[in-house]
Structure 1
Amino acid sequence: MRLLNLQTLTAILAVLSFTKAEDNAIASPDSAVVKLTSETFQGFIKENPLVLAEFFAPWCGHCKKLGPEFSSAADALATKDIKLAQIDCTEERDLCNSFGIKGYPTLKVFRGANEPAEYQGQRQSDSIVSYMTKLSLPAVSVIENSSDLLDSISELTSPMILQVLPPGATGSDANSTFYEVANALRNDFFFVSTSNDEYVKKYATDSKKPTYVVFRADEQLDDASVSNFDTFDKTHLVDFIDVESKPLFGEITGATFQSYMAANIPLAYYFWNTEAERDAVAPIITPLAKKYRGEINFVGLEAPKFGMHAKNINMEETFPLFAIHDIAGNLKYGISQDKDLDNSLIAKFVSDYAAGSLEPIVKSEEIPEVQDEAVYHLVGYEHEAIVKSGKDVLVEYYAPWCGHCKRLAPTYEELAAIYQNDTIGKEKVVVAKLDHTANDVSNLDITGYPTLFLYPGDGSEKILYEGQRSLEALADFIKEKGTYGIDALEIRDAAAAAAAVTEEVAEEAAAPVEHDEL
């Protein structure tokens, strides 16, 4: 018998491996995993209180690896009223798109009418079983024993939200609200309720109302945050948890960045090279974090991994550094990098920022000495002055690499030229463009390019343009939404008519004069 050569053998093994893995991506029909389609999905979610759904593609390598683990976990959870389901996104594209599925596998936890939550556990069978079993337990743990409470706080790996219930507060509407919030946020926090006398005496401020305490992992008990609501409802409790659950001096990573940005309050960064640098600055930053809790979040950022983020807040990649990003206004402030950072300057810098006495660091191109095109070349340094100049100002915020921006350019230039070539139009209308990758603009939410805003000459609120990107549509927008009602199409047509008359006169003047012969 002829022996197979190594290349042929490798190819066969690869095919066998691929075939086996392909089958493994899809759960075995003998397992407890349920295959869902667009027709069956909603009904299944309504019928089952807790579902872990895997959105996958059969060809996906990570899905192939997860398949057997997912099937094994489904079998282990079958008796606990916890269902595991699969949705094949190559067959159910619309269903997957409705949940914003961008990659495979994506695991989401569905619990009744609540918004689905991202699965945060490991992707082994035991981990899936443990994670989902925990989710099946009551959203709020009731702990009355002091030592048990203390043990729970000392062993925290995520923030604990403790409801302290005085005897007169039991059964109150606030108590019901706490359970509602706990059900919604249980994936991120540990919710506990107690009526323990020791905790009531220490934290309760009203014998008929619950008090809420946030304990953060790896912090002292005395650093806990205690609620002080003048009025109370679900929104106040959620906001309290969102602000107070963050560490006094946290850490920015890929996993935490979005939660800090979503808080929408200023974010103070300390970029560090070594753990020793972070440890040295912690005694300075922690008291500041306590003082400005709810007004400024303070975080560390490991420069060797994430140092390039310094450019996003208008700082140089020279570390350590300290800077504050006003997220709502998109303004950046930083301690000068002309020399090495002196940590003793941080407290005064934060105080000056809170007092509004610092100037932001503006990223901007230089102001052009000459505007030699019909479209005004706008830069960050003069953005506010131009849009508040008393003229109707249309600004295109673009990126040099944007294909849609390049396609708009000829139309935009033609529109600008119409106003520039008219005496009144030039005085009343500015058509401008700003490279948003090279210039900072505050209080402006740009989510894609090009984005166009009209700033009316009367100083009223800017207006987002959402129409067709044609000359006629843009001209009508400025006429209808601007302060002065300048009609670019009318200007264009009048200019064309005048040009035609001028050409006709010129032709007549150039024609030879005919004379009658004698």
Structure 2
Amino acid sequence: TRHVMGLSTPGQAEIVSLDSNNIDDVLSKTCRFSQMLHPIFEEASNIVREEFPDTKQVVFARVDCDQHSDIAQRYRITKYPTLKLFRNGMMMKREYRGQRSVTAIADFIRQQQVDPVKELPSVEEINSVDRSKRNIVGFFENKDSDNYRTFQKVANILRDDCTFLAAFGEVSRSERFSGDNVVYKPMGEGIPDMVYLGSLTNFDLTYAWAQDKCVPLVREITFENGEELTEEGIPFLILFHLKEDTESLEKFQHEVARQLIGEKGSINFLHADCDKFRHPLLHIQKTPADCPVIAIDSFRHMYVFPDFKDLNVPGKLKQFVLDLHSGKLHREFHHGPDPTDSTPGQETGGEAASSPPESSFQKLAPSETRYTILSRDRDEL
């Protein structure tokens, strides 16, 4: 089996074998899907090399994960072939999931070469940015500066999560009262801008600030991004709500931020459209008429938060998540409520007749051993 990796870092554009002495042997043993991809990947690399002969901005490379299991583990590769994009030595969260064709791969690289920063030509345009998107706006004295180079690097990495805009020279002068300046303009009207107060020459600091603004704590799950979210490998805490019910979403966002900020990294906070995700709701004996509904999908089972109204009870949502981690949700489903201090002699109930509903969202994940792009039937979920 072989892991294929697309790298977007400075260097000559070509297929690079990371173990040139045994490449023929590797290719003869590789899995069928990797064998099928190899000539496509190679031809795409040749096209890209022709289009970017001087810039030396793209490297195509491959890794044999049988030979180099340490590399596979480092980048959590479990299916083959996988295509990952790197920028400035940093692995991008989103792997390549487009068509496995020469045209599609070459187009993807062309898109990556497009500057993600849009220049604002006038003061008027600064004041009329699209507030239906997350915008990060930089105000710079000139383009040829370390400050702007840092901004461009950050924009390249977060280009799918935020819109990046920049103004220069005379156009940006009124915003540069204390030097070059970067602000975040959140979605929605009347919400104040947030100013970056760190050093613009410090990439790590600038990136951490921008990522915090561009990637919301509670993300929407869709059929398009479900596979990607599943591959992060941590359970889901999901609010199912009707699309027009923004009030429930705001309450959920508020309580997640208040009660569960410390759980970031151990559970994914998501919201889903009740109508689109009817089948996961059916798994937990709910319909869109029951929404809003909060549930955990552990990738083995689904568990329902008893009552949405309890969201406001201090610590209740946090305890629900802690009960997942401790195994209590699974245990109580089978055996009934755990004994409590108020009922010291209480025995646990008998074995429940059924297990908790199976995970619905695990079905969005690809095969554990190989990567294929399937046109999933939404009804199956």
Q: When the two structures are superposed, what TM-score results if normalisation uses the length of structure 2? A: 0.53
Structure 2: state its 5+ residue gaps. 5-12, 22-26, 261-268, 324-328, 343-354, 357-381
Work out which structure has the larger RCO, using CA pairs closer than 8 Å and 6 or more positions apart in sequence: 2
Tell me if structure 2 keeps the 8 A contact 1:248–1:286: no
Of 193, 196, 199 in structure 2, the residue corresponding to residue 226 of structure 1 is 193
- Post-superposition Cα deviations, 1:246-295, rounded to whole Å, max 9, x if no partner, equal 46985224246369998x9xx863325xxxxx23423x235547867955
1:279 alignment partner AA? K
Corresponding residue of 2:84: 108
Of 271, 275, 278 in structure 1, the residue corresponding to residue 240 of structure 2 is 271
Residue 60 of structure 1 pairs with residue 29 of structure 2: no
Corresponding residue of 1:430: none
Corresponding residue of 1:334: 305
Aligned length, in residue pairs: 293
Aligned mates of 2:257, 2:173 — CA distance in 1: 25
SS at match of 1:105: coil
Alpha-carbon deviation of 1:207? 4.7
2:245 alignment partner AA? V
Aligned mates of 1:290, 1:206 — CA distance in 2: 35
1:320 alignment partner AA? C
Corresponding residue of 1:285: 248
State how 1:162-177 maps to structure 2 within 5 Å: 162-165=136-139, 175=148, 177=150
State how 1:27-46 maps to structure 2 within 5 Å: 34-38=15-19
SS at match of 1:101: coil
Tell me if structure 2 keeps the 8 A contact 1:56–1:88: no
Aligned identity (percent) is 17
Distance 1:236 1:259, change over 3 A: farther
Alpha-carbon deviation of 1:193? 1.9
1:304 alignment partner AA? R
Residue 304 of structure 1 pairs with residue 317 of structure 2: no
Of 181, 196, 204 in structure 1, the residue corresponding to residue 154 of structure 2 is 181
Corresponding residue of 2:164: 191
Alpha-carbon deviation of 1:101? 2.8
SS at match of 1:144: coil
Aligned mates of 1:92, 1:76 — CA distance in 2: 28
Tell me if structure 1 keeps the 8 A contact 2:239–2:252: no
Corresponding residue of 1:123: 100
Structure 1: state its 5+ residue gaps. 1-24, 26-31, 41-54, 273-277, 311-315, 337-345, 367-378, 386-436, 439-518
Aligned mates of 1:271, 1:62 — CA distance in 2: 38
Corresponding residue of 1:69: 40
1:101 alignment partner AA? I
Distance 1:209 1:63, change over 3 A: same
Tell me if structure 2 keeps the 8 A contact 1:333–1:358: no
**Which has the larger share of helix?**
1
2:84 alignment partner AA? K
The structure with the larger Rg is 1
Alpha-carbon deviation of 1:184? 4.3
SS at match of 1:194: strand
SS at match of 2:165: strand
Aligned mates of 1:184, 1:178 — CA distance in 2: 10
- Post-superposition Cα deviations, 1:449-493, rounded to whole Å, max 9, x if no partner, equal xxxxxxxxxxxxxxxxxxxxxxxxxxxxxxxxxxxxxxxxxxxxx
Q: When the two structures are superposed, what TM-score results if normalisation uses the length of structure 1? A: 0.42
- Post-superposition Cα deviations, 1:401-423, rounded to whole Å, max 9, x if no partner, equal xxxxxxxxxxxxxxxxxxxxxxx
Distance 1:73 1:303, change over 3 A: same
1:105 alignment partner AA? P
State how 1:416-455 maps to structure 2 within 5 Å: none
Tell me if structure 1 keeps the 8 A contact 2:310–2:316: no
Aligned mates of 2:319, 2:98 — CA distance in 1: 41
Tell me if structure 2 keeps the 8 A contact 1:166–1:210: yes
State how 1:335-374 maps to structure 2 within 5 Å: 335-336=306-307, 349-350=310-311, 352-353=312-313, 355-356=314-315, 360-361=319-320, 362=323, 363=329, 365=331
Alpha-carbon deviation of 1:77? 0.8
Distance 1:245 1:141, change over 3 A: same
2:243 alignment partner AA? D
Corresponding residue of 2:182: 211
Tell me if structure 2 keeps the 8 A contact 1:73–1:129: yes
SS at match of 1:107: coil
Residue 245 of structure 1 pairs with residue 209 of structure 2: no
